[in-house]
């Protein structure tokens, strides 16, 4: 699933393509909105909120989308061939006119969007009001994020980080990388996190996402060719101690939660080797060790 930095980058690309332009086509390809036509309205802005996208349109309307595991937004010029997938996977098309100061006409195409809603802009809180502070948003508050995480001290750290009600924007990659940098396993209870690391956690999380929001390939190591410390590196040597990285799913099994850690560098509980010897699947189209952006 795309994480906060990827969604931020997607919002920036959509905003550049659509904002302040008049829609020349709006094609909702979901039954609920099959008769909706926003043609002639101006797109005001495209704003990310955690892993959600809010496209605000003239007339007090907001298009709310979420990419889920497989969704993507592609932006094309009139001359470009659409390459995001077969036509039956398209859920929404938004085409905007050319703008004198913003370049030629652009068409944004949403593929495989699991969440697509049209709501009043004044009702946006119904869609995203449950989210905690956004790591890349103007509402970011490290104190509130930390208080949310510590509210359930018995909860495993990895699960708490993935809960978007605590803080918005972290997914499986950053969960694994953050726990490695803090030298604890994702199964360590939040309340057992050493005090010096507790205060550092929200600051480090924000630093990682901010450092990657403009990069085409995510990096947490600062090392060229070795982009991530543990994620996607099952059975490969740890970059710190050379012990084999281990992998397992975390959670109740209702969702795929691939989790990677170093059994030598990271302290705390973890699944037995027998339960974690098979590496979880990486995102479609990703090469283990080098997860790439999933949207254009």
Instruction: Name the catalytic one among 257, 258, 291, 293.
Output: 257
Q: How far is CA 255 from CA 187, 249, 280, in A?
A: 16, 9, 12
Of 64, 169, 47, 164, the C-alpha closest to 110 is: 64
Dist CA 277 CA 65 (whole Å): 36
Question: What sign does the dihedral 83-88-92-93 (CA atoms) show?
Answer: positive
Cα(first)–Cα(last) distance of the chain, in Å?
14
Is residue 2 part of the annotated active site? The answer reads: yes
Is 260:292 a contact under the CB 8 Å cutoff?
A: no
Q: What angle, 0 to 180 degrees and rounded to 10, lies between the N-to-C axes of helices 172-181 and 195-212?
A: 130
Is residue 280 part of the annotated active site? The answer reads: no
Of 178, 190, 108, the C-alpha closest to 153 is: 190
Q: Tokens for 208, please give them.
A: 């990682």
Is residue 51 part of the annotated active site? The answer reads: yes
Cα angle value 219/144/260 (rounded, 5°): 35
Instruction: Name the catalytic one among 13, 21, 51, 213.
Output: 51
Dist CA 214 CA 117 (whole Å): 27
Q: Tokens for 184, please give them.
A: 């604890």
Number of H helices, E strands in the chain: 6, 10
CB count within 10 Å of CB 183 equals 15
Is residue 3 part of the annotated active site? The answer reads: yes
Is 272:294 a contact under the CB 8 Å cutoff?
A: no
Q: Is 156 helix (H, G, I), strand (E, B) or coil?
A: strand
Which positions are annotated as active-site residues?
2-3, 51, 257
């Amino acid at each position: 699933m795309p994480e906060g930095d990827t969604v931020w980058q997607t919002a920036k690309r959509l905003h550049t393509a659509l904002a302040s332009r008049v829609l020349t086509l709006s094609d909702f390809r979901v039954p609920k909105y099959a008769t909706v036509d926003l043609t002639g309205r101006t797109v005001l802005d495209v704003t990310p909120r955690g892993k959600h996208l809010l496209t605000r349109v003239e007339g007090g309307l907001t298009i709310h989308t979420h990419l889920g595991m497989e969704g993507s937004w592609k932006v094309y010029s009139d001359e470009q061939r659409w390459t995001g997938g077969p036509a039956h996977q398209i859920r929404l098309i938004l085409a905007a006119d050319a703008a004198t100061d913003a370049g030629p006409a652009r068409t944004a195409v949403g593929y495989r969007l699991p969440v697509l809603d049209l709501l009043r802009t004044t009702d946006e809180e119904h869609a995203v009001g449950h989210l905690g502070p956004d790591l890349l948003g103007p509402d970011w508050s490290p104190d509130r994020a930390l208080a949310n995480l510590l509210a359930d001290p018995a909860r495993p750290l990895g699960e708490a980080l993935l809960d978007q009600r605590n803080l918005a924007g972290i997914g499986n990659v950053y969960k694994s990388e953050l726990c490695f940098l803090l030298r604890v396993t994702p199964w360590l209870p939040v309340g057992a996190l050493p005090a010096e690391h507790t205060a550092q956690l929200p600051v480090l999380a924000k630093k990682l996402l901010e450092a990657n929001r403009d990069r085409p390939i995510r990096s947490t190591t600062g090392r060229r060719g070795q982009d991530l410390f543990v994620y996607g590196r099952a059975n490969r040597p740890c970059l710190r101690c050379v012990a084999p990285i281990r992998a397992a799913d975390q959670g109740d099994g209702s969702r795929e939660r691939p989790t990677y850690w170093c059994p030598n560098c990271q302290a705390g509980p973890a699944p037995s080797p027998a339960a974690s010897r098979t590496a979880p699947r990486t995102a479609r189209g990703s090469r283990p060790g080098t997860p790439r952006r999933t949207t254009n």
